Amino acid sequence: SQTIHQWPATLVQPVGSPLSLECTVEGTSNPNLYWYRQAAGRGLQLLFYSVGIGQISSEVPQNLSASRPQDRQFILSSKKLLLSDSGFYLCAWTRKGTEQYFGPGTRLTVT
Amino acid sequence: GENVEQHPSTLSVQEGDSAVIKCTYSDSASNYFPWYKQELGKRPQLIIDIRSNVGEKKDQRIAVTLNKTAKHFSLHITETQPEDSAVYFCAAGPSSGGSYIPTFGRGTSLIVHP
């Protein structure tokens, strides 16, 4: 069966510090991968998606970036965090179809 | 692009009542419509979905209906229980060539009172 991992689970970072969040998927190959952000009490905002290694599409201009160095690994980064970057970051995957499954998420607080 | 509107934002019912959440979408190319349940502090979980070639789908106490002409779809929960309390999200988007980019509704907070 397929499993999706995210780490860290929680993170508290000062404004201006860098960020690296990691997502990995097990039990499947060549998945589509997604990064979402969810602000407190709000909906899901798509940040990036990837259909293959090195292929990243950005949905929202911001100070975040994403990379996919391996087939089942997706990384979200920032060089300098802003207060507005606080939120619940969710990684998700789909087969080359539609059912989308979410990882456990990383709760980021920027202070 | 796709625009998904979800109503109501909050729904409060008594245990045993039915609950209905409605979503509308704008892109006629959208062909896959999932519903997610998100409990507080946890990840969204897929609970039911429907594709554009089907009008209705049921799974025990939950059902989803789709009206392609009117571009709306609904989640129906019967015999609600306190453990149904959560935020529910709908989504819509076109799926083709192995690519699927969903647009999510803003969510409905369902509260089931015992």
Query: Residues A62-73: pLDDT tens digits?
Result: 789 999 999 999
Spatial contact of B103 and A55, defined as CB atoms under 8 Å apart: no
Question: B100 CB near a chain A CB, below 8 Å?
Answer: yes
User: Which of B46, B106, B107 comes nearest A100 by C-beta?
Assistant: B46
C-alpha radius of gyration, chain A, whole number: 13
Q: Sorting pLDDT into bands at 50, 70 and 90, what band is B100?
A: confident
B35 to chain A nearest CA, in Å?
Answer: 10
Q: Sorting pLDDT into bands at 50, 70 and 90, what band is B35?
A: very high
Residue A59 has pLDDT above 90, yes or no: no
A109 to chain B nearest CA, in Å?
Answer: 14
Q: Sorting pLDDT into bands at 50, 70 and 90, what band is B31?
A: very high
Q: Find the mean pLDDT for residues A77-82.
A: 95
User: Which of B34, B43, B101 comes nearest A105 by C-beta?
Assistant: B43
Q: Using DSSP, state whether B83 is helix, strand or coil.
A: helix
* Cα distance between residue A81 and residue A101, in whole Å: 27
Q: Using DSSP, state whether A90 is helix, strand or coil.
A: strand
Residue A1 has pLDDT above 80, yes or no: no
pLDDT at position A87: 94
Residue A61 has pLDDT above 70, yes or no: no
pLDDT at position A42: 79
pLDDT at position A95: 80
